[in-house]
Structure 1
């Protein structure tokens, strides 16, 4: 007997498809940033799948926030090494 809920990766794929009209309406310079959000969330798909939420939006947003936090920490570490305050 299989799972009753679609997988997180399936939900994420559907979410991205649902938001394609929004993406197309964005100015060209913002589309890469939009795509990066979904790329970032795929990094955490295993953890989000274990959470087994009924909706995809909460794990999606947490994944985006976590990816941005990691990026901030990396940039802060680089500044520290460069001797910037």
Structure 2
């Protein structure tokens, strides 16, 4: 029998489509940043899919925050290395 629930990746795609009007209303300079948030969400799709969340938006937001936390740590490390 086939899968009864949409995959996490499908759910993220659906969320991104629902936020399409919001994206279009953003200033051009902010649209790439908005797109990058969804890239972050897809980056952790395997982990989020394994979690099988009832609310995919929550998993998407956690994935985005995790990617940003990782990036902050990388930048802090680079900064500390330059300071030394």
**Is TM > 0.5 for Structure 1 vs Structure 2?**
yes
Q: CA RMSD in A?
A: 1.0
Structure 2 residue ranges without an equivalent (≥5)? none
SS at match of 2:55: coil
CA distance in 2, matches of 1:49, 1:3: 13
Distance 2:71 2:2 in 1: 37
Secondary structure of the structure 1 residue equivalent to 2:3: coil
In the other structure, the counterpart of 1:3 is 3
Separation (CA, whole Å) in 2 of partners of 1:52 and 1:3? 13
- Count of residue pairs the alignment pairs up: 84
Q: Is the 8 A contact 1:9 1:45 kept in 2?
A: yes
Q: Which residue of 2 aligns with 1:23?
A: 23
Query: Which aligned runs of 4 or more in structure 1 are off by greater than 3 angstroms?
Result: none
Aligned position for 1:63: 63
Alpha-carbon contact 1:40-1:64 (below 8 Å) kept:
yes
Q: Deviations over 1:11-31 (max 9, x none)?
A: 000000000000000011110
State the alpha-carbon separation in 2 of the partners of residues 2 and 57 from structure 1: 24
